[in-house]
Amino acid sequence: METVNQQTPTSTMQSTSRFHNLSDQNNPYRLDNSDTSVLSLVTDLLTTENYVTWARAMKRVLRAKNKLGLIDGSITKLTDPSDPLFEAWERYNDMIVSWIHNSVSPSVKSSFILVDNAHEIWNELCERLTQQNGPRIFQLKGALENSTQGNDSVNIYYGKLKSIWDELALHCPMPESLVGK
């Protein structure tokens, strides 16, 4: 009996084969026992005022869990149900959506509760909440101008100032030409 050998191009096979081994620690589709849908990845829920720090904390955790690819767009949505990775992608997406929902305040969550794609939610939050940086920057600059040491120790006062400076730096990153390459 003659068998037909259908071969996939090597580059395609190599690029997708890493996703098929779900026991591989580096496979972003892999979900560990600790990856539950009730998990909240960050301690401070997202509000309309803390997007920059929240997004930074979420990215750090998602990178550590090897799950950043879905929100940054490097792992795209699978649309073909016959794709062997379709179900894995669906589980992966649903888990990230759950983690985002669990890390967002109820007032913010209500605006995307019906969106099922983690990448779309991430982009929607970024677009909506980074536009509000102007008033927050104004608040932070006012807090710096009005801050006084009062009865605080030098260390405590410096800590308060540093917190404001750090948040301002997140909202107003230095131009690339000043940072150096």
**Cα atoms in the 13 Å half-sphere on the side-chain side of 71:** 26
Q: Which of 108-117, 126-135, 140-149 has the lowest mean pLDDT?
A: 126-135
Confidence class of residue 98 from pLDDT cuts 50, 70 and 90? very high
169 contacts 142 by C-beta, under 8 angstroms? no
Say which residue the tokens 């894995």 belong to: 88
Domain residue limits, the chain: 38-132
Return the structure tokens found at 57.
Answer: 């904390």
Measured at the CA of 57, the angle between CA 174 and CA 167, to 5 degrees, comes to 40
47 contacts 105 by C-beta, under 8 angstroms? yes
pTM as predicted: 0.64
Mean pLDDT over the full length of the chain: 79
Averaged pLDDT for residues 126-131: 80
Averaged pLDDT for residues 141-153: 91
- Reported as a single tens digit per residue, the pLDDT across 30-46 is 776 677 676 778 889 99
Averaged pLDDT for residues 4-14: 37
